Structure 1
Amino acid sequence: MKKVFHKIASFSLALVVLLSTVSFTVDSHYCGGILVDSSLFGHVETCGMEVHQQLPSSECDISIKDCCSDEEVIVEGQDTLKTSFDRLDKDQQLFATAFIYTYLNLFDGLDTSIVPFRDYAPPFLITDIQKLHETYLI
């Protein structure tokens, strides 16, 4: 149960970090106040009612009001996730370096090839002293 909870928590935290850093743009096209098309990744399709700008002529100078509008909503994600080591004050830098140094050296053990009593010979056993004196520890 603990492993399952740990995996779910890890996945959800990774998903939160991913979603907080993603930025996207939503384009929308309105025609007369009614939403015609909305797009997340590309350009929106128009309704075909846009006013075409005509060359100004001396005969007629009538301006037509455009009923269509385009709207663009930009959602920007977070750019910086990691605090720089330079922004920490002196005490925090000292604590971080000491913690990292001791944590890395915590798991350094002795090599298996090192035998501390390799250069010492065991004492010679001439007689069994316990049997000789008939003293046994019980």
Structure 2
Amino acid sequence: MIKQILHKVFSINMALLVLLSTVSFTVEKHYCGDALIDASVFSEVEKCASEAYEIELEKITKKPCCKDVVDVIEGQDELQKTSFDDLDQQLFLTAYFKSYKNLFEGLPNHVIPHKDYSPPNLVFDIQLLDAVFLI
């Protein structure tokens, strides 16, 4: 039961890892001077409210006050497929982890079915009555 649940959880996690590693996205940032005004991942950034003033200032000083920075985070284009030649390495790692795991396993609990029962009361000593002695 637990093994099946863990298998499903790990499968879903691996699928999400592959999905997230292949997705690419952009982060847009808008700066006015040195101050960050807006940052956006999936939509356009909002410009400054004084954009008309900045255009006039840019005409005078020939230097723009605001700037937009676009960071592109690219995912993988190709996924690496392992060949069947890596079987020796996989077999070694599996044997190593299996033997390492077995170091920490305890001994199995032995079930003693008569642990909580006391022996019957002796009324007569049968060996003495029958004169049977172990030599």
Q: TM-score, normalised by structure 1?
A: 0.50
**Considering only aligned residues, what root-mean-square deviation do their CA atoms show, in Å?**
2.9
Equivalent position amino acid for 1:66 in 2: P
Aligned to 2:65: 67
Aligned to 2:45: 44
Report 1:13-28 matches (<5 A): 13-28=14-29
Aligned to 1:100: none
Q: 1:15 to 1:63 in 2, by over 3 A?
A: same
Report 1:85-100 matches (<5 A): none
Residue 75 of structure 2: which of 52, 74, 77 is its match? Answer: 77
Aligned to 1:3: 4
Moved over 6 A (4+): none
The count of corresponding residues between Structure 1 and Structure 2 is 82
Query: For each residue in 1:83-122, what CA deviation from the matched residue of structure 2 results, as whole angstroms up to 9, or x when unmatched?
Result: 49xxx7xx95xx9xxxxxxxxxxxxxxxxxxxxxxxxxxx
Unaligned runs of 5+ in 1: 55-60, 96-138
Unaligned runs of 5+ in 2: 88-135
**Structure 1 counterpart SS, 2:55:** coil
Q: Report the identity percentage.
A: 46
Aligned to 2:115: none
Report 1:94-113 matches (<5 A): none
Report 1:30-41 matches (<5 A): 30-41=31-42
Give, in angstroms, the shift of residue 63 of structure 1.
Answer: 2.7
Q: TM-score, normalised by structure 2?
A: 0.51
Give, in angstroms, the shift of residue 2 of structure 1.
Answer: 0.5
Give, in angstroms, the shift of residue 48 of structure 1.
Answer: 3.0
Distance 2:76 2:39 in 1: 24
